[in-house]
Amino acid sequence: MSRTFAMIKPDAVERAISGKIIAKIEEAGFNIVAMKKVQLSLADAQAFYAVHKERPFFGELTEFMSRSPIIALAMEKPDAVAAWRKLMGATNPAEAEPGTIRKEFALSIGENAVHGSDSDENAAIEISFFFNHFEQV
């Protein structure tokens, strides 16, 4: 069993579709081991996305991620990182496969409804950014 980290981003929480996204997560067989709704400050978003700080979209990304609440989830499934990336679909919704969350719900490459870890190592880092050990069941 392995874990990954997911976020439901401000665009999706604002549109009140977080329940639909969580339903898809559960229907796909993920076990949610931690979940909370939080408002990131700009500094929080800059820290979370520090690996992207040299990218041209860093300012846009961190302002977007701190404009309204997000839902953070830690979830478990065999090969969880790859399984969640498959269910999310491509970063750019124009390239996302039918049936994926981003194909159905993302507005643009920036406001793309959900985030997912890209490796087991980053999943552990991202889960511990949001959850301490007793918040994970």
Q: Residues annotated in the binding site for ATP, as ranges?
A: 9, 57, 85, 91, 102, 112
E strand map for the chain: 2-8, 31-38, 70-77, 114-116
Q: Which is nearer to ligand CMP, 57 or 129 (CB)?
A: 57
Does residue 102 touch ligand CMP according to CB under 6 A? no
Catalytic residue selected from 115, 117, 127, 131: 115
Q: State the nearest-atom distance from the C-beta of 1 to ligand CMP, in Å.
A: 23
63 part of the interface to ligand CMP, by CB under 6 A: no
| Sheet-wide strand order for 114-116 | 31-38, 70-77, 2-8, 114-116
Task: Supply the DSSP symbol for 54.
Answer: T
List CB contacts of 38: < 8 A, sequence separation 6 or more: 69, 70, 72, 130
Q: Which residues are registered as beta bridge partners of 77?
A: 2
> Does residue 52 carry a catalytic annotation?
no
Question: H/E element holding 94?
Answer: none
The encoded tokens of residue 95 equal 């390239």
61 binds ligand CMP (CB under 6 A): yes
110 belongs to the binding site for ligand CMP (CB under 6 A): yes
Footprint of ligand CMP on 112-131 (CB under 6 A): 112, 115
Contact residues for ligand CMP, defined by CB under 6 A? 52, 57, 60-61, 91, 109-110, 112, 115
Q: Which residues participate in catalysis according to the annotation?
A: 115
